[in-house]
Amino acid sequence: MGVTAHGFLIVDKPRGWTSHDVVARVRRLLGTRRVGHAGTLDPAAEGVLVVGVGSATRLLEQVQSGAKQYVAHVVLGVESDSGDVEGLGSAIASRPPDRAAIEAALQTMVGEIRQVPPAHSAIKVGGEALYRRARRGEVVEVPARTVHVSTLAVLDYRPPDVVVRVDCGSGVYVRAIARDLGRDLGCGAYLHALLRTRVGAFTLQAAWPMEDLERGLTPPTWPLMALHPDAALQPDDALALGGAAVESWYHGRPVPIPEVTEETTPRVRGYTWDGDWLGVASTDQARGLWQPRAVVGR
């Protein structure tokens, strides 16, 4: 019997697993195909992977666009062709820089920056993933893109190992930060290990280890281990509807706002008067309407 509930499962992805491996395992454990994830983690990385089930899959894009936090272990003096421990490395320098130089170089990568993704990444150029072309030995010019980095803080430095906290937005490659740090310092660097500690409102403290999921995740235990879909929408305002308004919502038709004020928020969480989850609506203040955007089927 498949899952009838909807929600998020916060997983502590182990090293060596792909994000798709986790999704496939959750599908098997729950007996449902409607499973996805927000924000791919490389196989060599570990930490928070947000898995959506049922109607929560409609909110995964929103979760993926949220802020993220990582703890990165960077090794100086060696450069990797993939930017991480999976690639082929070559020694660049044996004399490590001092901590002040590292911190100064990191600060040049804080804010809105132009970042060139690693050649070994899933980004498509010419309709094909870069990592596939890189594996064939092709040299591809990777276009830079604008990303946002909030914080790069050195947590520990014991040459050649430096541990960095990274707070950033969507689309940032921590491997590229390590690569660019090494190039700015003139010594080379690669990402040795990566732990994602937060995705939006979801933290590592709330994540389930895979071994616990293997032992305990079943359709009957799902409500005990999952988070409600609205966990991704806090602290958005809640909207309770009844009667004809609920029918309009289910058909994707806008619902009138009784009174538009300065406090009217741009997005609301929808529920029936009985507390059943309806989905998400955006606010059209000009027309005085709530427009359903993610509608949960009955």
Tokens describing residue 211: 């071994």
SS3 content of the chain, % helix, strand, coil (to 5): 25, 35, 40
- Annotated active-site residue 42? The verdict is yes
Taking alpha carbons only, the member of 72, 45, 74, 71 closest to residue 161 is: 74
SS3 string, 26-88, reads HHHHHCCCCEEEECCCCCCEEEEEEEEEHHHHHHHHHHHCCCEEEEEEEEECEEECCCECCCC
Q: What is the radius of gyration, based on Cα positions, of the chain?
A: 22
Residue 152 identity (one-letter amino acid):
L
- Residue 93 neighbours by CB distance under 10 Å: 17
Strands 68-76 and 189-199: antiparallel
Tokens describing residue 91: 């020694």
Among the listed residues 42, 84, 167, 230, the single catalytic one is 42
- The residues carrying an active-site annotation are 42
